[in-house]
Amino acid sequence: MTTTIPNIEAYPKQFLLRDGTVVTLRPLVGGDQVRLLEFFRRVPEGERYYLKENVASPEVIQDWTSNLDYRRVIPIIALTGDKIVADATLHRSHSWARSHIGEIRIVVDPNYRELGLGRKLIQELLDIAAMLGLNRVIFELVAQREKAAIAAAESVGFREVGVLKGWIRDILGKEQDLVIMEMPLKDYQLLS
């Protein structure tokens, strides 16, 4: 494991959700394997379908937690007690041509949505991206399914830069649009 998370000493961080629940943010570590798998299995199958990997697979989660490389992916988890309630990742390319761009991915437990957690995780990843000197961050969302996530991203300054019509197929084979959002970091103000 390579530790290149900026401001690592600031973790764990605690904050309150809108309903008063205390949530702790910290980087994912190898010992989180069982909790991470339990978290993803609580996410409805119809939502997991749209993720880039089969997160309900023990092998996928074992690979993630056994091969942590913070130079490539910075995973931040949100916990209530010992229970993971959200997973947020900042992905970076090793390619020189794309080394200035990051991509964020966020999944929130259905019971913890619309409480400000998604927005907080977006801000946390943007803070990390800015501290790493990235120029911009992208966020890909399914237009018809992730309207709340799109609104949360817009609320912190992301803007839509493209829509790929019919780029995603739903579980029934119906085409869905993929929204590409971008946050240029030159004007972003660190919140941490």
Pairing of strands 83-92, 73-80: antiparallel
Sequence letter at residue 107: V
Mean pLDDT of 170-177: 89
CB 76 within 8 A of CB 28: yes
Rounded percentage of the chain residues whose pLDDT exceeds 70: 96
Reported as a single tens digit per residue, the pLDDT across 43-90 is: 998 888 888 888 888 898 888 888 888 888 999 999 999 999 999 999
Reported as a single tens digit per residue, the pLDDT across 93-103 is: 878 888 899 99
Contacts 24+ apart (CB under 8 A), 2-10: 2/69, 2/70, 2/71, 3/70, 4/70, 4/71, 4/132, 5/70, 5/74, 5/128, 6/128, 6/131, 6/132, 7/127, 7/128, 7/131, 7/192, 10/192
Mean pLDDT of 9-19: 92
CB 147 within 8 A of CB 183: no
Reported as a single tens digit per residue, the pLDDT across 115-151 is: 999 999 999 999 999 999 999 999 999 998 888 889 8
